[in-house]
Structure 1
Amino acid sequence: MKMKCLIVDDEPLARKGLEDFVSQTPFLEHVKSLASAIETIEFLKQNSIDILFLDIQMPDMTGIELLESFQDAPQVIFTTAHREFALDGFELNVIDFLLKPFSYSRFLKAVNKIVVDDDKREKSKAAKNYIFIKCNGMIIKVFIDDITFIETAKDYIQIHTVHDKYLTLVSLKHIEEELPKEKFIRVHRYYLVGLSHIKKLEGNLIYIGDHKIKISRILRNEVYKSIIGNKFIGRL
């Protein structure tokens, strides 16, 4: 699966250069390019990405200030013409710091750090069949295969399982990163569903047990493709 990339830079030529690099990289997908931090905040309220290529010096808010404002930041690679910002970037746990102008090989080296880290995380997730969550003052063991779907509930998420449901203070993005990608799919900004528990699909709805879960209009084609794949017999 390709990693979704958002490019944020107030310089059109810098955006175009990064777009070209992303298009040359088979495992990357360019989602959007934006020119300001404010646009980025609004975009990320509605969309999920894997990698944020972020310029530091921008007119309305610096990239550093933008990153500090996130409660749940995506993986960030800073891009800037100013070397003096490098230390600030690494203190914020960014993946890498690209000093303009940079080559495609240097760009690829930065991106490969994310790919290697993701591979390690996926192997680690595949090796375990449960997670621990905090709920009602207790630490509870939840088996991954028992999770039917997860939904947001204001600042919390509610984890539905075949036996019970649990409310815990964590973001949907964070729990998504802890679960194996081959077993769960994001179908909406508010929902993550367990593939093995899907009973049927109807239009923009997924049925899991007695629950009807809405599929985002933007994600509908991707969701259908991921769920059905080459297992469909007949004609849609």
Structure 2
Amino acid sequence: MIRCIIVDDEPHAIELLSMHIEQTGFLELVGTATSPVKALQLAFEQKVEVVFLDVQMPEMSGIEFIQLLNGRCKVILVTAYKDYAIQGFDHDVIDYLLKPVTFARFLKSTRKLLDLQKDNHGPDNDYIFVNAHEKGKLLRINIADIIYVEGQKQYVCFLTREGNKHLSRLPLKELESRLPTDKFIRVHKSFVLAVQYITMIHYNAVYLAHTTAVIPIGSSYREAFMNRMKDKIY
């Protein structure tokens, strides 16, 4: 989860952004403040990763607030005024949202945060976010929990060790390129497996822990799969 706070002197603006944050599934709202002075304390105490920040406030401007943050966390400006856009981007803000902020525009902005995380941590991070089957939702899935991923026409289905199945519109080929190559392997045109969950290989089938599913080994994938597993065969 990405820890965030909202700083705005208008309570109704805080309420709207709070609703948007609740809907995203990958943001955790750890505090709100109508006072930028109190918000600075929050930012330092709560290990905040991103601030949704109004520009015009009585005690200090959003730009002054950013300067006091001194790069401690990312900032997304939220304001009714277009005039501060250039000044905001000069201070490396992630995005500039104009009030009233629609959920679609909010989601587009916060996706940039996920892209930054991917750039900073790469595909070997311990979790991923996927576009869920339900429109507008991004779902966090821990890498260690994925048993296998199955391609199903327009979707892929993640099976986790808790027995949960999650659908996503992400193509299987693209997903495979994002998963850690030392932890996963393609065994069939429709299946990518987590190596750690393999319990048995029987002819052209793979058996996995935490599931009764029997995964076929495709003929074009068998050689690469067995070469991958040869160091484990005695």
Q: Give the structure-1-normalised TM-score.
A: 0.51
Equivalences for residues 67-86 of structure 1 within 5 A: 67-86=66-85
Q: Which residue of 1 aligns with 2:192?
A: none
Structure 2: give runs of 5+ residues left out of the alignment: 126-234
* Alignment check: 8 A CA contact 1:9 1:34 kept: yes
Q: How far has the Cα of 1:125 moved from its partner?
A: 7.9
Note if contact 2:31-2:42 (Cα within 8 Å) is conserved in structure 1. Answer: no
1:147-186 C-alpha deviation (Å, 9 max, x unpaired): xxxxxxxxxxxxxxxxxxxxxxxxxxxxxxxxxxxxxxxx
Shift of 1:25: 0.6
Tell me which residue corresponds to 1:228.
Answer: none
Any residues of structure 2 matched to 1:14-93 within 5 Å, and which?
Answer: 14-93=13-92
Tell me if 1:12 matches 2:28.
no
Please tell me whether Structure 1 or Structure 2 has the larger radius of gyration of its CA atoms.
2
Q: Which runs of 5+ in 1 are unaligned?
A: 127-236
Aligned to 2:167: none
Question: Pairwise CA RMSD of aligned residues?
Answer: 1.4
CA contact (8 A) 2:7 2:51 kept: yes
| Shift of residue 120, structure 1, vs aligned partner | 1.7
Supply the AA of the counterpart residue of 1:92. H
| Separation in structure 1 between the aligned mates of residue 23 and residue 76 of structure 2, nearest angstrom | 17
Provide the C-alpha distance between the structure 1 equivalents of 2:36 and 2:114, rounded to a whole number of angstroms.
26
Name the aligned partner's letter for residue 14 of structure 1.
Answer: A
Offset at 1:124? 7.7
What number of residue pairs does the alignment pair up? 125
Aligned runs of 1:56-135 on 2, under 5 Å?
56-123=55-122
Cα pair 2:5 2:29 within 8 Å, conserved = yes
Contact 1:67 1:73 in 2 (8 A): no
Q: Find the aligned partners of 1:119 and 1:45 in 2 and give their Cα distance.
A: 24
- 1:206 match: none
CA distance, structure 1, for counterparts of residue 121 and residue 31 of structure 2: 26
Cα distance in structure 2, aligned partners of 1:104 and 1:125:
30
Percent identity between the aligned chains?
A: 36
How far apart are the structure 2 equivalents of 1:102 and 1:47?
A: 25
Q: What letter matches 2:111 in structure 1?
A: N
The one-letter amino acid paired with 2:56 is Q
- Contact residue 30 and residue 46 of structure 2 kept, 8 A: no
The alignment partner of 1:72 has SS state of coil
Please list, as runs of the form range in 1=range in 2, the aligned pairs for 1:155-174 lying within 5 A after superposition: none
